[in-house]
Amino acid sequence: MALRKYKAVLVEFMSFNDTQKYSEDTEFSERSLLRITPEAICRWMNMNSFGELSPADDDKPLHARSATLEFAKKAISAFMPRKTVQWDPVRAEGNLTRSEAVNALIKRVKKFEVRREGVQSNARRLIEYEEFIRLLTLVRSQTEKDSVRI
What is the band of 37 on the pLDDT scale with cuts at 50, 70, 90?
A: very high
What is the band of 119 on the pLDDT scale with cuts at 50, 70, 90?
A: confident
Domain-located, residue 38: yes
Calpha distance 70→6 (Å, rounded): 12
What is the band of 93 on the pLDDT scale with cuts at 50, 70, 90?
A: confident
Domain-located, residue 148: no
Domain-located, residue 67: yes
Domain-located, residue 137: no
Number of domains in the chain: 1
Q: What is the pTM of this model?
A: 0.76
Q: Which domain range does residue 95 map to? A: 2-122
Which whole number is the average pLDDT over 86-102?
Answer: 87
Calpha distance 8→100 (Å, rounded): 24
Domain-located, residue 147: no
Q: Is the pLDDT of residue 88 over 90?
A: no
Domain-located, residue 107: yes
Domain-located, residue 21: yes
Which whole number is the average pLDDT over 64-70?
Answer: 93
Domain-located, residue 145: no
